[in-house]
Amino acid sequence: MNDAHRFSNGPDGERPDTAATGDTSAGGGRDRRRVEPMPLTPLLPRRQDPWLLVDVDDSPASHGALVWALREAARREATVVAVCVLDDDGDDGLTGLGRPGRRTGAVALERLEAQVLRAIAETGVSGRVRTAVLERPVFEALSSAARGADLVVVSGQGKTLLRPAVPRQPPRRLARGA
């Protein structure tokens, strides 16, 4: 940058560009270039925090999975959904239409919350857990989506297709004549 383009702190008459060129225009010798506001791109909303779905039963392996999920939730600012899956005990011949009693759901929720409290005491991570009791068909739909099946969530706000985060491998094609 040369002296003609520098600004000085003194009066306009002392600026080198007005003295050299003799500019006495209506601007008082000020530079005609103006600083215009730069258009900013709108900020995209932050991606929603992840959810960790954990199937909790009475096994030591599920307790280990719950402890891992709590630690991972603290690391990734995620929410753990600890679920107890109810199976249809009294099958009346119409699959999927049997409903567990309210008492069964309440007992399962109490046992689930006790296991969650035990995992929270072990990890020290709190405030990131939700509990739910699910029926088998709902859990099967969610777990099959995790294994690569498409899951369409339909609500009053519209439809959303859930796809796996990792794209599926394209099918291999054999070369002609092979």
At a CB cut-off of 8 Å and minimum separation 6, what does 148 contact? 164, 168
Residue 55 lies in a domain: yes
Q: Within 13 Å and on the Cβ side, how many CA atoms surround 118?
A: 14
Model confidence over 125-146: pLDDT tens digits?
888 899 999 998 888 888 888 8
The alpha carbons of the chain give a radius of gyration, in whole angstroms, of: 33
Q: Residue 123's domain is classified under what CATH number?
A: 3.40.50.620
Specify burial of residue 151 (Cβ count, 10 A radius: 0-12, 13-18, 19+).
middle
Model confidence over 80-139: pLDDT tens digits?
999 999 886 544 433 444 555 667 888 999 999 999 999 999 999 888 899 999 998 888
The structure's pTM equals 0.58
Residue 15 lies in a domain: no
How are beta strands 79-86 and 51-55 bridged, if at all? parallel
Residue 129 lies in a domain: yes
Q: How many Å apart are CA 152 and CA 68, to the nearest integer?
A: 29
Instruction: Supply the DSSP symbol for 155.
Output: E
Range of the domain at 97: 51-162
Residue 168 lies in a domain: no
Residue 141 lies in a domain: yes
Residue 175 lies in a domain: no
Residue 142 lies in a domain: yes
Q: How many structural domains compose the chain?
A: 1
What is the phi-psi region of residue 159: left when phi exceeds 0, alpha when psi lies from -120 to 50, beta otherwise?
Answer: beta
Residue 84 lies in a domain: yes
